[in-house]
Amino acid sequence: MVHEIENAADDAAADGVQDRIVVAVVRTGGIAGLRRRWRAEPAPEQVPTWIELVDRCPWQERLDPDARGADRYVWSIHARVGDEQREQVVPDTRLEGAWRELVDAVRDADAGADADSDADADADRP
């Protein structure tokens, strides 16, 4: 598996903000084997809430892949909190509790960006 490093946006480094947080979720698998990606980089006032979401996840837990059935999703979760990188691969059957809350928060935060890119794609169609 390729390890991805999540970097803060360029303006975060320019502002000197060290407590930035970036969380990315990549879902692979399913019948078509498509890859979806969501990313959240919350505003400074939201950072404490996001740090709590990230800290509640059991990053050190070993999660073996689920062999019960083909075409299941796999969730790769990457978080950068300050200078610390965390990552975990979570089988779909184990996406619950703190993992589900973090993934849902990232997907919700990225929903506006998806809508914008969908609108851009629609504009390119004849």
What does the pLDDT look like over 78-98, one tens digit per residue?
999 999 999 999 999 899 999
Higher pLDDT, 58 or 12: 58
In a domain, residue 2? The reply is: no
Of all helices (H) and strands (E), which one includes residue 6?
none
Q: Report if residue 93 sits inside a domain.
A: yes
Q: What is the mean pLDDT of residues 41-69?
A: 88
Reported as type and span, the H/E element at residue 49 is helix 47-55
In sign, the C-alpha dihedral spanning 27, 62, 103, 37 is negative
pLDDT at 1 over 70: no
Domain count, the chain: 1
Whether 4 is covered by a domain: the verdict is no
Q: Is residue 5 part of a domain?
A: no
Range of the domain at 17: 10-124
Percent of the chain predicted with pLDDT > 70: 69
